[in-house]
Amino acid sequence: MARHLITSALPYINGIKHLGNMVGSMLPADVYSRYLRQRGHDVLYICATDEHGTPAELAAKERGLPVDVFCGQAHDAQKAVYDGFALAFDYFGRSSSAQNREITQHFARKLHENGFIEERSIRQVYSPADGRFLPDRYVEGTCPHCGYDKARGDQCENCTRVLDPTDLINPRSAISGSTDLEVRETKHLFLLQSKLESEVREWVARHDKDWPQLASSIAHKWLTEGLHDRAITRDLDWGVPVPADTWPELAAEGKVFYVWFDAPIEYIGATKEWSDQDPENRDWKSWWYEADQGENPVRYTEFMAKDNVPFHTVMFPATELGIREPWKMVDYVKAFNWLTYYGGKFSTSQKRGVFTDQALEILPADYWRYFLIANAPESDDSSFTWEHFTATVNKDLADTLGNFVNRVLSFSKKRFGDEVPVGGTPGEAETRLGEQIAELLAEYEGHMESLQFRKAAAALRALWSAGNSYLEEKAPWLQIKTDKDAAALTLRTAMNLIHLYAVVSEPLIPATAKAMREAFALGDDTAAWVTADEAKSLTSVPSGTAFTVPPVLFAKLTDEDLDNYKTRFGGQEQ
């Protein structure tokens, strides 16, 4: 059985992330990781804060903090939010770690030894007002491709085109705002991607049939435009330093590696951070080095939004190929489009949309987890509106699932007491229900295994709906008047559905799943998943099992709630 290595794009350190960031990487990675663990796979889910580069320096400057202090505080703040969303990372690291520095410098040395790094003199933007060279994100201006007037010197947030600072129209310093900029000569290291292009092209071609179209098309678009040699060092105070044993002059000048060179390496660095905490029981290298060999090869899946795809399907693969060592390369890239906010982009920098800490202030995590997965922007961009969110919560979570659980348990407690009722023999309706549940469960499993999250959520919702249809068909509130055993059978069958829902819903709504499962006093309840036979028989919770009625699982949202959300966050087409 393959081991599953899972990573999600590293969130930048400069502030709490919005819902678009959550659904585009970390949440689906968590759902998939939870599902695989429940199915008995060996899973390692790794993520980390991306702490280097100009965003960290600028954010620290804005808060009047040393950059290392700022990053430490910001890491803890982000981790608290992700804990609130119940993201079950095996490890959530930091790209500023000693482990990442060590591995990044090793990669750079090997690339140099193999002839894929070259020192070049370039002309770079210099700000006399700031007394320093300005790395890419320290320069802002108008994008020459789309006219967006807040483009950064490395990439336009609006059209996603990769830029150099000298490409910008009307450039200005992001530090002082000064437009008195000069172009001076300085030296930097370049990764010779042009020499690796044919290898990258062959590697991408091998995945054409496996990857989703979004990931594959973006990779081919970059390859069609040609891979250009790219500067991988910057003039910053914060970052992985250029090793003095290899480039003494640049090290003396304080050069550090470009954040997009060291950030993907942090997937490996964070795994070593995890391993170093318990070296006797954790072997980080077996997940990354010669990981395709042996009886338990590693299958590596990455999750990211579409703006991160070029770096993970072209730039980082070029790095790994150029090292000429057997480091694990990604097998499957699950790429997402954007979740928009009323038709406009969520934006961390412009504070537009709902941010993850605000979301948790409003409602528990499971409300958000379900909605986001059920509306994941897989085949196209999808739009967040408060109207859609409210309708989904009320219909799917409160009515279809929550009301089913409450109706069944409350009615059974009232008419039969605190134990699962005895009586009745399963008949045609129960056989038909079991077959339907087994079929829907297989559909749900298939979508989860193929990483089709919207379809998986729809299949899960269909499982919940099947219980409601059964309950309406059998009507135990009427059966109890004439045939107590028939009512007992119906309620016992429905209680078994609740337990099944608890098990299979855990990847999407873990807290609610736990509450449903704990409603039944099953001392030996160790079921990780539900087999087809168990789904058909629906006998995991036997007669006589004590149970309790949990608090309301999902509160319905009112028109007043909707109005309050729209007033606080805005709710109109952009």
- The rounded distance, in Å, linking the Cα atoms of 546 and 419 is 4
Q: Quick count: other Cβ atoms within 10 Å of Cβ 225?
A: 9
Closest to 232 (Cα-Cα) out of 315, 308, 166: 315
Those residues with Cβ within 8 angstroms of residue 530's Cβ, 6 or more apart along the chain or in another chain = 441, 500, 503, 504, 540
| Amino acid in position 83 | D
Cβ neighbourhood burial of 373 (10 Å; 0-12, 13-18, 19+) = buried
Asked whether 408 and 498 are in contact (CB, 8 A), the reply is: yes
E-assigned strand segments in 281-376: 298-305, 332-336, 339-341, 344-345
E-assigned strand segments in 332-489: 332-336, 339-341, 344-345, 382-384
The reply to whether 71 sits in an annotated binding site is no
- The rounded distance, in Å, linking the Cα atoms of 62 and 75 is 17
- The rounded distance, in Å, linking the Cα atoms of 397 and 373 is 13
E-assigned strand segments in 175-232: 182-191, 230-231
Those residues with Cβ within 8 angstroms of residue 271's Cβ, 6 or more apart along the chain or in another chain = 44, 46, 91, 284, 287, 288
| Amino acid in position 215 | A
Those residues with Cβ within 8 angstroms of residue 458's Cβ, 6 or more apart along the chain or in another chain = 374
Cβ neighbourhood burial of 213 (10 Å; 0-12, 13-18, 19+) = exposed
- The rounded distance, in Å, linking the Cα atoms of 17 and 205 is 33
The reply to whether 47 sits in an annotated binding site is no
SS3 118: strand
The reply to whether 143 sits in an annotated binding site is yes
Structure-block tokens of residue 251: 């090290």
Phi-psi region for residue 212, left (φ > 0), alpha (ψ -120 to 50) or beta?
A: beta
Task: Let me know how many helices (H) and strands (E) the chain has, helices first.
Answer: 24, 17
- The rounded distance, in Å, linking the Cα atoms of 183 and 84 is 47
- The rounded distance, in Å, linking the Cα atoms of 304 and 378 is 11
Cα→Cα distances 478→272, 341, 460, 505, Å: 61, 46, 28, 30
What do you get for the CA distance between the two ends of the chain, in Å? 48
The reply to whether 348 sits in an annotated binding site is yes
Which strand ranges, in their side-by-side order, compose the sheet holding 151-152?
Answer: 151-152, 139-142, 169-173
- The rounded distance, in Å, linking the Cα atoms of 393 and 146 is 38
* Binding-site residue set: 143, 146, 156, 159, 348
* Binding-site residue set for ATP: 348
* Binding-site residue set for Zn(2+): 143, 146, 156, 159
